[in-house]
Amino acid sequence: MGNSHDSRDTIHLQNVEGASNSSGTQENAAIKKTVLVGVTGGIAAYKSCVLVRDLQKQGFRVKVAMTEHATNFVDPLTFRSLTHEQVAVGLFDDPEDPIHHISLADEADLFCVAPCTANFLAKLAYGIADDLLSTTALAMTCPIVIAPAMNIHMYENPATQHNMQVVSSRGIHIVEAGSGYLACGYTGKGRMAEPEEITSAIVSILNTPQDYQGKRVLITAGPTHEPIDPVRFISNRSSGKMGFALARCAHARGAEVTLVTGPSQLSDPAGVHVIRVETAEQMFDACDQNFEACDFAIFAAAVSDMRPARIHDHKMKKNNPEDDLSEIHLVENPDILKTLALKCTHQKTIGFAAETNNVLENARRKLDSKHADMIVANQVSETKTFGANNDEAWLITHNGETHIPETSKDNLANKILDAALKL
């Protein structure tokens, strides 16, 4: 079970101020969307009571589903008193609804799991459905938000980090855990985000504009691998996270998205047409075939500038006189952004500039030399840009520059999409 920063084992909030709704008619009339809050077995479950009230204040109808372990921390009666709705716990606890997990999923406009334990996160990542909450999650077609909460060592465990990457790549929104004193006695990252932060994320997602409806967006992501021989290749540190975030967010805003990605460990974003390639030439061919039909082309991939002129058909040996590993002749790869930008009829083209120094100066030069409409500039370091979940950027256009302070890549993706519409 997960741990948060409060050490109380069980809490009953049966007499919470405002739990009884005296203005039921007016409040119900304002409710437009349903948020299903999933509560799993961690001490942070008590904060879910506050989350429910915060969501109600935003005008949402709130229903609650719990795991059996969660009922050891907060009694279902508490949530029933707060929501005036039946609280779902078992797969067969509603005799009038023999397929309860499907009806719950159908009712929800958004599904929020808070707290989300390491165990439930793993179930989400691998599609395990062995109780009401996990079965309901698998039946969801609406947006999903999770707020992880657990011990710091559990949070930092490679398995947990991998699972978060998996669910994020599928479009599940993660409200990052905070740092502080945990119920287990440790201090560090793992405490569930505050209810107001989770509510803010939910409001933002449910109010996502459909301003890309009817638009076609072409996006590139990840690195390219340029083979030297059957074993070795030239590449870079790109993870593909930025391009995948752009694809997810553009799709969420109504766009028809084609994502051309180099080698990446990320899963295909839901609802996005994904073309997986290996080399820069393959990426160029895929982009060239899809460019004419698109309205926006966002080139977020870190494409290798050069490739070996010759690809050996055997593993090169340092002791083989015919295999000189000290000299590999390179030739230029196609310049995808520049070549396609010169073919524009109606398309808007956005490129990326990952720089280690003179970031703005190099980005401005790239904007002109590539004939792009916008360049997204990043400062590369050991902890920034490649592989990171957050990033800072500058949006450079012919009309000026906008600085985006460090934020999640999903938030940055939406800022880029906002700016693209203004081009």
The set of catalytic residues is 184
CA distance 63 to 88: 9
Distances (CA, A) of 414 to 171, 407, 420: 14, 11, 10
Q: How far is CA 60 from the centre of its chain?
A: 24
Which tokens in the block code for residue 261?
Answer: 């990605």
Please give the Cα distance from 259 to 251 (Å, whole number). 11
**Dist. CA 322–CA 190, nearest whole Å:** 55
Phi, psi of 225 (to 5 degrees): -110, 120
Which are the contacts of 423, defined by CB distance < 8 A and separation ≥ 6?
Answer: 348, 373, 374, 397
Rounded to the nearest 10 degrees, what angle do helices 158-169 and 118-126 cross at?
Answer: 50
Locate tokens 């100066």: which residue? Answer: 361
Number of CB atoms found within 10 A of residue 295's CB = 16
